A and B are shown apart, each in its own frame.
Chain A
Amino acid sequence: MYKIWLIFQREFLNRVQKRSFLIATILIPLIFPAIISVMIYVMMKQEGSAGIQTVEVYDLSGRFQLEKTAKYRFVPVSGDIEKVKDDFNKSQNFALLYIPDFKLSEPEGIALYTRENPSIRKIEELENILENKIHDLKLEQFNIDPTTLQRLKTDVRLNSINLSETGEEKESNTGALYILGFVLGVLIYMFVLIYGMQIMLGVIEEKTSKIVEVLLSSVKPFQLMMGKILGIAAVGLLQFTIWVVLISTLSTATLALFGVDMPQQQAMEEVSRQMQADETARELLAQDDKAMQVLQSFNEIPFAFIIFNFAFYFLGGYLLYGALFAAVGSAVDSQQEAQQFTFPITLPLIIAYFGLFMFILNDPHSSASFWFSIIPFTSPVAMMGRLAFDVPLWQLLLSQLLLVGGFIFTTWIAARVYRVGILMHGTKINYKVLAKWFMMKH
């Protein structure tokens, strides 16, 4: 144990004392809020400066008297189409909308001319406007009074409330937890990959610099491997802790700067997608309300629970994959050679990453989500995403138990490959060779 501790110290200090560690640890938390601030700033600026854009409407059907919206003003134009196009090109207007005479049942041939490629969002917005207009025209065709129509529209927002087993009602903070779970899941994915690679590179370095033979005359291969894995884990945890502290301090500061405007800003953006001008106000209110709800629910997150689980899955996932990375590092002579072996290791991790998006965040209680969060190779990423959705305790415990078993298992396999591989030079490595090393007496 003492020797593992010595190696642990060495690995830890070596990395922490490096300038690159200091830079990464301090710069990244600075960069993130900076990027966010810049994005918010640009967004605000754009929303402000863009103002209302003018769309010329060349309407042959004569039915499209489009109303002004938050973003677009519609100006009817007529005359020779070639001349209209020519005039449009010389103007500052955003677009020219060409509407042929068409049957309401088959709206075809509508075209949008612009000088630059418009964004998909803008096209969608205009499509929405047209669809709504056609919708209204159709209703009019069926002789439905527009005021009746207005009254038909309702806006329902669900307040999601969980009924806990004790029958107590608690407002679900799904929104906030969803975001948190997603972020933590992705973080674990990134950390395991980045620090796993560090283990591998460290092992390759010891092997290629030949110091390993000197080391092995003093320590057991297992001690060397574990000392390295644990030392790098400590570096990761330290870096992460510093990031959390720095980011939360800086974000608070950043939010204070923009905070007042932010929910409205988001709401504005949402609203701009909505076309009915008269609805804007109501929507704005609703959005604001929703944002408030998310913010409020952040206060209700069981942070101790989340932090414990994050630390657990972070370490568990890291140890599980770290051992495998160490084994790969021990087997190869160079980083290039390692690539063919790192892919199969990272594959389950990548699958877990996609599983997080495809299954867990969509339907956290589906059987796919269940298996993703139980199998040790995917559970560190997947379970973080699921935590938001009240995972049954037995599933959580089973998943954690299997993860512990999982990393003991991979460490055992890795140690057997490592002890042989670390002394082998210039061997052509394939899976058969690795299996042979695994079986070899030492």
Chain B
Amino acid sequence: MEALIAKGITKRYTHHLALDDVSITIPEKTISGLLGPNGAGKTTFIRIINQIINADAGHITIFGERLQEKHIGMIGYLPEERGLYKKLKVGEQLIYLARLKGLSLAEATARSKKWIKKFGITDWWNKKVEDLSKGMAQKVQFISTVMHEPRLIILDEPFSGFDPVNAKIITEEILALKEHGSTIIFSTHRMETVEDLCDHIALIDKSRKILEGSKKEVKDTYKTNTFRIEHRGPFSLGDGHYELLDQKTIDEDFYSSTVRMKEKMSPNQLIRDLTEITEVHSFMEKIPTMGEIFIKLVKGGDHV
């Protein structure tokens, strides 16, 4: 089943079109990256899922049901602009936010305590948020996002403000949540995060969805059949199936070369051809990183 299906979502503000006929499908129990440059419409899209604002057109299906007010408790949302009540104590804050999501007082209290313990921050319970450091407040905010065990978790730049140690803790939590069956949507600019964590990707640019699919599909689509070879002794390729893009010395007669296949063939063929003209020491396909794909699509894309 799909966790989320958005169909033809359009949102117009007075002076611009924030979303233009955006359709995105998020498979269940995946981590999906919602990517796009600043101002592309990601936040608008997330706000529509959270029912903070309404779309002008289109509709959203969540776990097979049309999105309604009752689904609020199924979604956990960590906005990019973090915020908590500064004067409120950590414990009261967590309980309050969980109750707004529909938990009973007893349940909210029990789960707040459990999470606080899990993160080893039990002594923060009676501290006011204004007395916490930024990273500490972020942890509290993360807890408030996932405490009601939402089936769909939307995290907008979840790692900003975390040091590497805490970022690792949060990463582990996110993966554990996925293990437990939650679906996670990431909105982020950090391509390493996408590379490491995401199974599925949707790219929005200038109010439109321009790319969607599993990470593997996307990479397959955008790979250029280029290979990097380390070899002993130089070689040159004629006007055949291959094109030599680059060749440089590494050490004495060791070289590194980049070769592109002009048409799609088996890499084995290339290796066979190469072994005849040089001594191959390493052979690797150059797979584009998510960052490269992002820049390629957003910058020079044909969508204007």
Residues of A within 8 A of B (CB): 3, 6-7, 10, 14, 205-206, 209-220, 423, 436, 440-442
Given contacts A209-B84, A213-B79, contact A218 B56 (CB under 8 A): no
Interface 0/1 of B1-44, CB less than 8 Å to A: 00000000000001000000000000000000000000000000
CB distance from A202 to the nearest CB of B (A): 10
Residues of chain B within 8 A (CB-CB) of A211 are 83-85
Shortest distance from the beta carbon of A225 to any chain B beta carbon, whole Å: 14
Q: Tell me the bound Cα distance from A213 to B84 in angstroms.
A: 10
Kindly state the separation between the CA atoms of A217 and B83 in the bound complex, as whole angstroms: 13
Per-residue interface assignment for chain B, residues 73 to 88, with 1 indicating a CB less than 8 Å from any chain A CB and 0 otherwise: 0010101011111111
**A218 CA to B85 CA in the complex, in Å?**
15
Check B96 for interface membership: any CB of A closer than 8 A: yes
Contact A209–B97 (Cβ < 8 Å): no
Contact B83 A209 (CB under 8 A): yes
Nearest CB to that of A419 among chain B residues? B53
Q: How many residues of B contact A (CB 8 A)?
A: 28
Residues A217 and B14 in contact, CB atoms below 8 Å apart: no
Q: Most chain-B Cβ atoms within 10 A of its Cβ — which of A6, A209, A219, A441?
A: A209
Q: Which of A211, A216, A219 has the most CB of B within 10 A?
A: A211
Instruction: Please state if A442 and B53 are interface contacts (CB–CB under 8 Å).
Output: yes
* Contact A214 B52, CB 8 Å, known A6-B99, A6-B100, A10-B96: no
Task: Given A423-B52, A441-B56, answer yes or no on A218-B79 (Cβ-Cβ < 8 Å).
Answer: no
Residues in B neighbouring A205, C-beta threshold 8 A? 86
Given contacts A216-B50, A442-B53, A442-B54, contact A210 B100 (CB under 8 A): no
Q: Is B112 an interface residue (CB 8 A)?
A: no
Q: In the complex, are the beta carbons of B72 and A218 less than 8 A apart?
A: yes
| Contact in complex: A3, B81 (CB < 8 Å) | no
B86:A209 contact, CB within 8 angstroms: yes
What 1/0 flags go to B264-300 for Cβ under 8 Å of A?
0000000000000000000000000000000000000
Residue of A nearest to B80 (CB): A213
Of residues B83, B84, B86, B99, which shows the largest number of chain A Cβ atoms within 10 Å of its Cβ?
B83
A440 surroundings in chain B (CB, below 8 A): 14
Q: In the bound complex, how far is the Cα of B271 from the Cα of A278, in angstroms?
A: 132
Assess the A217–B99 pair: CB atoms within 8 A: no
Smallest distance from the beta carbon of B131 to chain A beta carbons, Å? 14
Check if B54 sits within 8 Å of A441, measured CB to CB. yes
Whether A213 lies near B100 (C-beta < 8 A) is: no
Interface positions, chain B 43-75, Cβ under 8 Å from A, are 47, 50-54, 56, 69, 72, 75
Chain A min CB distance to B57 (Å): 11
User: For the complex, what is the distance from the CA of A332 to the CA of B82, rounded to whole Å?
Assistant: 19
Contacts of A14 in B (CB 8 A): 87-88
B88 in contact with A213 (CB, 8 Å): no
CB distance from A122 to the nearest CB of B (A): 53
Cβ A214 vs Cβ B83 within 8 A: yes
Whether B139 sits at the interface, judged by CB under 8 Å, is no
Instruction: Determine whether the beta carbon of A218 is less than 8 Å from that of B97.
Output: yes
B144 at the interface (CB under 8 A from A): yes
Provide the residues of chain A in CB contact with B52, threshold 8 Å: 213, 216-217, 423
Q: Mark B195-207, 1 if CB is under 8 A from A, else 0.
A: 0000000000000
CB interface residues, B 92-118, toward A, < 8 Å: 96-97, 99-101
Contacts of B144 in A (CB 8 A): 214
Flag if A214 contacts B97 (CB, 8 Å).
yes
Instruction: Check B97–A213 contact: CB distance below 8 A.
Output: no
Nearest CB of A to B197, in Å: 22
Whole-angstrom CA separation of A441 from B97 in the bound complex: 28
B99 and A210 contacting across the interface, CB-CB below 8 Å: no
A residues in contact with B54, CB < 8 Å: 441-442
Given contacts A217-B77, A436-B14, contact A3 B100 (CB under 8 A): yes
Quick one: closest A residue to B77, CB to CB? A217
How far is B97's CA from A14's CA once the two chains are assembled, in angstroms?
14
17 contacts between A and B (CB under 8 A): A6-B96, A6-B99, A209-B85, A210-B79, A211-B83, A211-B84, A213-B83, A214-B77, A214-B79, A215-B100, A217-B51, A217-B72, A217-B75, A423-B47, A441-B54, A441-B56, A442-B53
Q: Is the CB of A210 within 8 A of B75?
A: no
- Taking the nearest CB of chain A, how far is it from the CB of B16, in angstroms? 14
Between A6, A14, A209, A214, the greatest number of chain B beta carbons within 10 A of the residue's beta carbon is seen for A214
Would you give the shortest CB distance from A436 to chain B, in whole angstroms?
Answer: 6
With both chains docked as a complex, state the minimum distance between the C-beta of A13 and any C-beta of chain B, in angstroms: 9
Q: How far is the CA of A6 from the CA of B87 in the complex (A)?
A: 18
Contact with A along B119-145 (1 / 0, CB 8 A): 000000000000000000000010010
Of the candidates B14, B47, B53, B83, which one forms a contact with A210 in the assembled complex, judged by CB atoms under 8 Å apart? B83
Write the nearest CB–CB distance from B42 to chain A, whole angstroms.
14
User: What residue of chain B has the Cβ atom nearest to residue A208's Cβ?
Assistant: B83
User: In the complex, what residue of chain A is closest to B78 when comparing beta carbons?
Assistant: A214
CA A214 to CA B155, docked complex, whole Å? 12
- Closest A residue to B46 by beta carbon equals A217
**What CA separation (Å) do A441 and B99 show in the bound complex?**
29
Report the minimal beta-carbon distance from A327 to chain B, rounded to whole angstroms: 18
Within 8 Å CB of A210, what residues of B?
A: 79, 81-83
Which chain B residues lie closer than 8 Å to A220 at the CB level? 69
| B125 nearest CB across to chain A (Å) | 16
Nearest CB in chain A to that of B73: its residue: A218
Task: Provide the bound-state CA to CA distance between A216 and B79, in Å.
Answer: 11
- B87 contact set on A, CB distance < 8 A: 14
* Chain B residue nearest in CB terms to A224: B100
Q: How far is the CA of A212 from the CA of B56 in the complex (A)?
A: 23
A216-B50, A436-B14 given; 18 more Cβ-contact pairs under 8 Å: A6-B99, A6-B100, A10-B96, A205-B86, A206-B85, A210-B79, A210-B81, A210-B83, A211-B84, A213-B77, A214-B77, A217-B50, A217-B51, A218-B97, A218-B101, A423-B52, A441-B54, A441-B56
Residues of B within 8 A of A212 (CB): 83
- The docked-state distance in angstroms from the alpha carbon of A436 to that of B14 is 9
Residues from chain B with Cβ under 8 Å of A218 in the complex: 72, 97, 100-101
Closest to B84 in A: A211
- Chain A residue with Cβ nearest B51: A217
In whole angstroms, what is the CA distance A6 to B103 when docked?
11
The 10 closest A-B pairs by CB, nearest first: A210-B83, A211-B83, A218-B100, A217-B77, A217-B50, A213-B79, A210-B81, A216-B52, A209-B83, A218-B101
Which chain B residue has the least Cβ–Cβ distance from A210? Answer: B83
Q: Which residue of chain B has the shortest Cβ distance to A221 in the bound complex?
A: B52
| Cα separation A7 to B100 with both chains bound (whole Å) | 8
Chain B residues, Cβ within 8 Å of A423: 47, 52-53
- CB-CB under 8 A from B51, the residues of chain A are 217
- Which of chain B's residues 161-177 have a Cβ closer than 8 Å to chain A? none
Q: Is the CB of A213 within 8 A of B81?
A: yes
